[in-house]
Amino acid sequence: MVGVSFYTLWLLLSLIAVVHLLIYKREPSSTIAWLFFVTVVPIFGALLFLIFGPQRLERGASKRRKEIEKLVRAPTAILPLAVSGEVDINAGLPAEDTAVLRLARQVSDYGVTTGNGVELLSDPHHALLAMQSAIEAAEHFIHLEYYIISNDEVTAALFEYLVRAAERGVEVRVLYDAIGSLSLKRIYFRKLIQAGAKIAGFLPFSLIPQRINFNFRNHRKILIIDGHTAFTGGTNIGRQYLGRRNKSQWHDYSVKITGPVCLQLQDVFAKDWHFTTQEDLFQSSYYPQARAAGDSITQVLESGPDTAFATLHQALFLAINSAQYEILLTTPYFIPDPAIMFALTVAALRGVRVRLVLPLKSDAPLVRYASRSFYDGLLRAGVEIYEYQPRILHAKLMVLDQKWTMLGSANMDIRSFRLNFELNLLIYGNSVASQATQLFQMDLAQSQAVDPEKFRRRPIGLQMLENACRLLSPVL
């Protein structure tokens, strides 16, 4: 009887997993790998698939946002036009550049905004001070959304600023990822809640089938102040992210933004908050009239398992293919899919100088080994690879042809492209590109070039380890 029950359970779980795999389109290699694992490993394989396998998530907030978007052009529009980013991008821009912007508009909820001020912040400690100063100046609302909020004195200090803001009547909302911030203790919430702030955890673990999946993590980092000032990037909140000289610290970037694009960031928060709490922030009071604050052309690229297109993946692919002479790329987790690998290789072969700064040290050793398995093909094509030496590299930055800059929360891996909720900024302009290039050059000066001949002669055992880790790349 026990054997029959075990067999029945195995068949039932395997059938559920197989049906899901065949209904929802995935890459053939991924589908075959999961089918093999589900059918060969009794029960455990199917359970793992149900936890880590699904790649789609439906959110009522997206539907609600689309309903609101229809009203943007109405005489009584709820949201300002800057949210959709419907501006003329033809004036003064070369055709190849408008093509990138138009493609990004097609695959994203947001279009191009002009009149933005962009300040790249290479020192996380300075970025934290700037955030605290902006919180002190808040008058109406503060919306904070982070993947990791650590359980330490840095969080305690930042929350004190939020408490003081709430006590003087500012609306404060904090959204954290329930898995990424799993160590965050409730004691940090007490004062905030007492002061009137609202706090919510994004997709906590649940037995409800739609929410059991560990894949769908909110990897975004956003702080919006009154709809006019915002911060984003790759830096989480915590002691280890301050980037001090200690070698155990992490190296990362943030960006401070002022201008119309802040309303797009506010809209991203509104959708995530609605999904988590059902509170509707699609109100005109949270979308103030846009103010010009600079000359940068900027667009929000929002991506996640609830979007129709792999926004970041497709925008990145086109941007790489549009490069004429230079691609500078810094990323901590480098596991490119075939399309991105092909784009980088072809770019180098057609004469574009492609330089990658990747980590020597990593908090995820399996990812680093998998990443190194891609070096051979890139080096043969002429791509220059450098490994950052001093600290744990966590920065994500790309500069193309000294005019395009892309930075944000997304890594160059399958998880960021398809499974996590991510947010990057696509910025057009020589001024910001010049800032970004200086940051890249500073990292390059602290990196060691990978010699193609020496790398080719590395021990066979190490090559086998790298290739074995590469097989795990769809779930890393």
Give catalytic residue positions: 219, 221, 226, 394, 396, 401
Spatial CB neighbours of 2, under 8 Å, sequence gap ≥ 6 = none
268 vs 386: CA distance, rounded Å: 34
DSSP 169: T
166 vs 468: CA distance, rounded Å: 51
Structure token digits, residue 413? 């891996």
CB atoms within 10 A of CB 33: 16
By the 8 A CB rule, do 201 and 276 touch? yes
By the 8 A CB rule, do 121 and 254 touch? yes
In the chain, % helix, strand, coil (3-state, to 5) comes to 45, 20, 35
DSSP 214: S
311 vs 423: CA distance, rounded Å: 10
147 vs 423: CA distance, rounded Å: 11
237 vs 460: CA distance, rounded Å: 40
By the 8 A CB rule, do 449 and 311 touch? no
221: helix, coil or strand? strand
Place of tokens 């002669």: 457
137 vs 35: CA distance, rounded Å: 55
**CB burial string 164-201: b at 16+ within 10 A, e below:** bbbeeebbbbbbbbbbbbeebeeebeebbeebebbbbb
Structure token digits, residue 259? 């201008």
Opening angle at CA 396, ends 152 and 205, nearest 5:
50
405 vs 428: CA distance, rounded Å: 6
CB atoms within 10 A of CB 88: 10
